[in-house]
């Protein structure tokens, strides 16, 4: 246990966050995402599990340490609802509030079609899977600088 660091941030996740550089991407996903399959294609190469942790808590904890990229228009990406690209599910507004609060400003979130999201996730640095039941709890954060 460390002071000032949320206990949801386990040692493996902290290690991965420290290895990441500006522009690297971190996927934060729900339990339904094919995270294990895609994680093998990431830079980190293995899945990081946050068992027992939901998306909102995980995002809040990660964003206490992880600056979002200010050099890109949309430093956060999410998966679109299949068959309804303009569809909304509750986690979308929850995550919008979390990233806006963490950055102290409005943050643009870009929606990607399901398979485009998977391809983008494969190019990420690492994948962090929560125990959140979803649906559509799949987000990609681009790392900025401190």
What phi and psi, each to the nearest 5 degrees, are found at residue 128?
-115, 120
Q: Are 126 and 39 in contact (CB under 8 A)?
A: yes
Residues near 83 by beta carbon (within 8 Å), at least 6 away in sequence: none
22 included as an active-site residue: yes
* Residues designated catalytic: 22
């Amino acid at each position: 246990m460390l002071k000032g660091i949320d206990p949801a941030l386990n040692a493996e996740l902290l290690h991965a966050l420290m290895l990441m550089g500006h522009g690297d991407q971190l996927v934060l996903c729900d339990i339904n995402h094919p995270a294990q399959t895609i994680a093998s294609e990431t830079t980190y190469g293995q899945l990081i599990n946050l068992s027992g942790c939901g998306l909102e808590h995980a995002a809040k904890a990660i964003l206490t340490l992880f600056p979002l990229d200010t050099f890109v228009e949309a430093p956060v990406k999410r998966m679109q609802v299949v068959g309804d690209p303009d569809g909304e599910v509750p986690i979308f507004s929850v995550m919008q509030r979390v990233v806006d609060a963490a950055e102290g400003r409005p943050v643009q979130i870009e929606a990607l079609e399901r398979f485009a999201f998977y391809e983008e996730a494969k190019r990420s640095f690492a994948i962090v899977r929560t125990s959140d039941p979803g649906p559509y709890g799949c987000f990609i954060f681009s790392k900025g600088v401190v």
